[in-house]
Structure 1
Amino acid sequence: MNRLLPLTLALLGSAALAAAPKDTLVIQQAATVTTLDPSAAYDTFSLQIIENVYETLWSYKGASLTQMTPLLASALPTYTDGGKTLVVNLRKGVKFHSGNPMTCADAQYTYRRDLVTNSAESANWFISDALLGTRDNAKQDKTITWARIAGAVSCNAGGQLVFKLPKPDPAFMAKMAFGGMGVLDSKWAAKQGEWNGTEATWRDWVGKDLSGSKLSAQPSGTGAYQLLRRDADNVLLRAFPEYWGGKPALANVIMQKVGELAVRQQAFLRGDADLIEAGTRTNVEAQLKGKPGVTVLDNLPSAGAQALFMNNNIKSASALGSGKLDGKGIPADFFASADVRRAFAYTFDYDEYMRDVQRGKAVKRTMLLPDTFPGYSKGTRTYKYDPAQAQALFKAARNGEIWKNGFTINANYRTGHIAGQVALELLKRNVEALNPKFRINIVEEPWSEQSKKLQASQEVMLPMGWGADYADPDNFMYTFYSSGGFFYPTNNWKDADVDRWLEQARATVDPVARAGLYKQVADRAYQQSPFIVLPAETNIRPVRSNLQGASAATYNPMRSFGFTGTLWRELSKK
């Protein structure tokens, strides 16, 4: 273990002790890092670290969302066999943090492990969908065999990695650039007691929860940084001295959990932190912009979408209050009524949200797809704040029982999600102004709790966003609107036509025809209002002025999930 500066160790134990050293990057955020196992990670905070500890076969080139550059692949591969086969040449001379050399066997192990352990809590569903033709694992889909898994990912006699797809998938290259697709150290994994990669043991690992795996505690990647120490509130990493890409300028990276926004802001202004989860645009412009030592990167592209979710089938008795329409709670199917969902959509003041929260730098979207992505429907109608329409719909819903008896809704937001909190507060004010019997209780909860509840259909109403895993419209449209999508358990809205259109779009290579299918989905979603689509602001990111490499020209919203827009190895301090 390399010796660290005493100051660096001091910073690890405190959110604000002294200015961050020149060779150390200090990041403060509100949420806990849930896992460092790439096969399990599916949250922004964990993946920020993982994409710097592990490396994918290729990644996005500079600020581009469509061009790729090789990482662990020695060159970008091309499809053969009508788009169903991809042969990858791997980079030579690459070492893992353990000291083991990277070989094709490691890449083969990695993606087979993803297919074996695939679960709804991980990102492996979209890799399984591409490689096996199903988003399910072998417990859910009995047609999945070891032969299918081994045939989908293998090494040939020349040491090349071979992917075999059941059908062409134009998004596959982009899917493989997802930060959780980093190549694992197979020998290290087996030594730690993880799956050994063999046919004899694979069924014991099907669908297994890997969030607390041995690899999460002791990762070994090929990335520029390796884990040195981790506790509940802090993660300390150091530059990997044998990194194939050369020595990074920053020797250490510290990620600290600091729940209070004001504390993060003060640490940032003092120079104790170089990057922080800074809250809304309003927070940044009022508290940080123009201050000494601060540079604000503005009008940055966004590859995300935000919504207020309304769960059609709430599977948590404790969240329902009385469980009845008696003013003291709601029934589990409260939001199953389109009239109710549309009433809430008319109650949200979109213009006020854009003006006061997003400072006018936002766009009112027609659908839950970034407006810069292909397939976005500009012509689809949108909701506006209209209390008269909302009142009429509430009176019509459930034969007038809602208007007569009232309701109490428990709505949660993630710790540190300031924009989501404000969105709920705006909705609460306007809903409760319609009828004194209407009530919304807003509660803060940690991400570690919320991430489990939303997949178990236990949330009632909550603000939730999606950052693109890969730069293709399917990643948003299927994720939000399909009954097979990641967010289906969070809102339980299903439409047979929408499901069919989305499946057709996934198999359509003609961009015009594909866009037409997505417009049909967007129009149906307007009619049914499964979500309250929140306006999307352009990204704004404050950085310390002495931090080099983080700029509007290099910012890629697919890197670090938009937090820094670049990898840590590309940063330095002056």
Structure 2
Amino acid sequence: MEAADIPTLDPGAVFDGVSSRLVQNTYETLVAYPAGSLTDYEPLLAESWTVSDDGKQYRFKLRPEVKFHSGNPFSCADVEYTFERNLVTNLPSSGAWYISEPLLGTRDNAEADPSITWERIDKAVECEGNELVLNLARPEPYLLARLTYPGQAIVDKQYAASLGEWDGTEATWKDWVGKDLSESALNGKYSGTGPYRIVNSENDTLTFASFADYWGGEPAIKNVVRRKVPEQASRIEALLKGDTDIAEVGSREVIETQLANQPGIQVVDDLPNLVSYALAMNQDTSKSQNTGSGTWGDGVPANFFADRDMRLCFTKAFDYDTYIEQIFLGKAERRNTLMPPQLAGYDQNLANPSLNLDEATEHCKAAHGGEAWEKGFTLNVAYREGTPQIQAAVEILKNNIEAMNPKFKVNPVEKQWSELISAANIEPMAYASWGSGYADPDNYFRPFYHSQGYHGLKSHMNDKQLDQWIDEARLVTGTNPEQAAALYGQVAKRAADEGYYIVLPIGVGIQAYRDNLQGVGANDYNVISGLFWKRLSKGGTQ
């Protein structure tokens, strides 16, 4: 039971945590992280793999006798089709660049990069019998990690083509370049190889049934129902009454004061938390419908956050300590940049951001040549519905900004998840999150701080120095990790000095669930993607 809606269930379009957690239980990737590991890999649809001496060719021996939910047999042709489909469509809003970068040497599709031809795509992904061959443009030390992401889960070629999706041929590939797959036929009709089939989807409810022909054996829990319930109180009540086995219930404060020690409730604490949360400041909102009048006073101008002083006013006006105490009861991690400190390249010597209202006021007075202070503004700040901890962050910021000057107004705006992350939705300030698809520093720094990264694009980042450092670090990660770490340290320092984001503290992971559900312990979590349902079991009726 969760608060958010589901943006898409087509693996080729998946690029958010809500969709990923569902897709990974219906479809499967070639490899996966085992529970509790960031460095090991376990086979899924690939039984084994080898790497060439120069690191530019990977060979995967594929698992035999696997069936899709449609009844079609799984073969190398399905893997080839899946990866080529991702390389052909490859929108920035998807995770297709995870494989386009190592296979084609670019994050772009053929529309943005005319040098991409069908021949290049076809040669990058080949089948030799039932063995998959990936030919890389350059060595990629994190290729297996990239392949664990649900966006690279294998789709049923025959089934997809029968629904009118791309037929996988050279004759039609150009018609599908840059195509948005979020509302594709595979977003409504499903056929994966995973342990659960989607058997019904209506009224904000998805119903899954165990797949009797699953290659790994039919899972213990036979039915899973995922419901969207926006009201936090309703989700908490359902968990207490046993109407749901596990739910998104909000902050640590909610779990410890309303759920812990209640009959039938179990709590697992001290879980690793590799997400990054921020309040992002958009430097160009000229095409936004969310800026009020678009001028000072009852709105904000398009370049409101293009001004460094304006950004620093906000970063220094946020009360990080109060946020940690109120929302996480002190169990949260301060970060100086938008990457977990567990990963290489995190500079422990860089100071964490802190509240300084005197400095915040001075920056506000200096912003836009004093115009912001003199005329005031009304700023909308968007956050995902059903996230009380982010709502609290916005309220803390609102109180401090409005106390600075009676002409300053901050309006918290709650939005559905799919609307908030839509490319058509342009916010002046919004909740930005990143749950890494794979454990690589580049997969945090690039999305947030590079001008072509996921959040960088949405925030209109245009810092050429950061772009240069991030690109350099990416190239030397495999050969000179010390140099890469030093470059990432420079990125973190410059980003903090420029005030590009309000870097929110991250709470230590905690989860409440019904005590008859087994497999939810600290050692059962995949630190990147959470729980695989096939590993769960429960007492009583399933």
TM over 0.5: yes
The residue aligned with 2:328 is 358
**Alignment partner of 1:137: what SS?**
coil
- Amino acid of the structure 2 residue aligned with 1:38: P
Which deviations, in whole Å up to 9, do the C-alpha atoms of 1:84-127 show, x marking residues without a partner? 11011101111111111111111101100010111022111222
Distance 1:315 1:445 in 2: 21
Which deviations, in whole Å up to 9, do the C-alpha atoms of 1:124-179 show, x marking residues without a partner? 122211211111111111111100100111112x3310111111111111000001
1:358 is displaced (CA, Å) by 1.2
Are 2:397 and 1:427 aligned? yes
Are 2:526 and 1:556 aligned? yes
The residue aligned with 1:474 is 442
Are 2:17 and 1:52 aligned? no
1:317 is displaced (CA, Å) by 4.6
The residue aligned with 2:531 is 566
Contact 2:110-2:117 at 8 Å conserved across structures? yes
The residue aligned with 2:144 is 173
**Alignment partner of 2:380: what SS?**
strand
Which deviations, in whole Å up to 9, do the C-alpha atoms of 1:278-333 show, x marking residues without a partner? 111112112211111111111100111111111000134532222222x2111100
Distance 2:507 2:346 in 1: 16
2:280 aligned to which of 303, 309, 326: 309
1:412 is displaced (CA, Å) by 1.1
| 368 and 174 in structure 1: CA distance in 2 versus 1, 3 angstrom threshold | same
Contact 1:340-1:397 at 8 Å conserved across structures? yes
Contact 1:405-1:437 at 8 Å conserved across structures? yes
The residue aligned with 2:358 is 388
Task: Map 1:132-147; keep pairs closer than 5 Å.
Answer: 132-147=104-119
Which deviations, in whole Å up to 9, do the C-alpha atoms of 1:330-361 show, x marking residues without a partner? 11000001111111111000000011111111
The residue aligned with 1:269 is 240
1:222 is displaced (CA, Å) by 0.6
Are 2:171 and 1:200 aligned? yes
Which deviations, in whole Å up to 9, do the C-alpha atoms of 1:398-440 show, x marking residues without a partner? 2211111111101111111211111000000000001111110
Are 2:68 and 1:100 aligned? no
- Amino acid of the structure 2 residue aligned with 1:59: A
- Amino acid of the structure 2 residue aligned with 1:273: T
1:224 is displaced (CA, Å) by 0.3
- Amino acid of the structure 2 residue aligned with 1:70: P
Distance 1:45 1:62 in 2: 19
Contact 1:315-1:458 at 8 Å conserved across structures? no
The residue aligned with 2:469 is 501
1:514 is displaced (CA, Å) by 1.1
Are 2:192 and 1:221 aligned? yes
Contact 2:291-2:427 at 8 Å conserved across structures? no
Number of residue pairs aligned between Structure 1 and Structure 2: 537
Distance 1:147 1:344 in 2: 49
Contact 1:105-1:155 at 8 Å conserved across structures? yes
Are 2:122 and 1:150 aligned? yes
The residue aligned with 1:462 is 430
User: RMSD across aligned C-alpha pairs, in angstroms?
Assistant: 1.2
Task: Map 1:256-295; keep pairs closer than 5 Å.
Answer: 256-295=227-266
**Alignment partner of 1:408: what SS?**
strand
Distance 2:292 2:153 in 1: 44
- Amino acid of the structure 2 residue aligned with 1:572: S
Are 2:13 and 1:40 aligned? yes
The residue aligned with 1:14 is none
The residue aligned with 2:224 is 253
**Alignment partner of 2:495: what SS?**
helix
Distance 1:456 1:33 in 2: 17
1:226 is displaced (CA, Å) by 0.6
Q: Out of 424-433 and 206-215, give the one that drifted further.
A: 206-215
1:471 is displaced (CA, Å) by 1.0
- Amino acid of the structure 2 residue aligned with 1:154: E
Contact 1:381-1:526 at 8 Å conserved across structures? no
The residue aligned with 1:182 is 153
Contact 2:246-2:514 at 8 Å conserved across structures? yes
The residue aligned with 1:122 is 94
1:459 is displaced (CA, Å) by 0.7
- Amino acid of the structure 2 residue aligned with 1:310: M
Distance 1:282 1:381 in 2: 27
1:262 is displaced (CA, Å) by 0.2
Which deviations, in whole Å up to 9, do the C-alpha atoms of 1:47-106 show, x marking residues without a partner? 21110111100100221011001111111x232151111011101111111111111111
- Amino acid of the structure 1 residue aligned with 2:182: S
Distance 1:93 1:263 in 2: 44
TM-score after normalising by structure 1: 0.92
2:375 aligned to which of 405, 424, 436: 405
Task: Map 1:65-84; keep pairs closer than 5 Å.
Answer: 65-75=38-48, 77-84=49-56
1:383 is displaced (CA, Å) by 2.3
Which deviations, in whole Å up to 9, do the C-alpha atoms of 1:445-479 show, x marking residues without a partner? 11121111xx3461111122110111111110111
Contact 2:419-2:425 at 8 Å conserved across structures? no
1:553 is displaced (CA, Å) by 1.6
**Alignment partner of 1:459: what SS?**
coil
Contact 2:20-2:151 at 8 Å conserved across structures? yes
Contact 1:234-1:257 at 8 Å conserved across structures? yes
TM-score after normalising by structure 2: 0.97
Distance 2:418 2:467 in 1: 30
- Amino acid of the structure 2 residue aligned with 1:478: R
- Amino acid of the structure 2 residue aligned with 1:194: E
The residue aligned with 1:544 is 514
**Alignment partner of 1:102: what SS?**
coil
Are 2:119 and 1:131 aligned? no
Contact 1:316-1:457 at 8 Å conserved across structures? no
**Alignment partner of 1:275: what SS?**
coil
Distance 1:315 1:174 in 2: 38
- Amino acid of the structure 1 residue aligned with 2:310: V
- Amino acid of the structure 2 residue aligned with 1:459: E
- Amino acid of the structure 2 residue aligned with 1:203: K
The residue aligned with 2:295 is 324
Contact 1:457-1:491 at 8 Å conserved across structures? no
Distance 1:525 1:187 in 2: 47
Q: Which runs of 5+ in 2 are unaligned?
A: none
Contact 1:420-1:464 at 8 Å conserved across structures? no
Contact 2:266-2:512 at 8 Å conserved across structures? yes
1:488 aligned to which of 456, 460, 464: 456
Which deviations, in whole Å up to 9, do the C-alpha atoms of 1:476-515 show, x marking residues without a partner? 0111110111112321122111111111111112221111
- Amino acid of the structure 1 residue aligned with 2:42: T
**Alignment partner of 2:179: what SS?**
coil
Distance 2:160 2:439 in 1: 30
The residue aligned with 1:18 is none
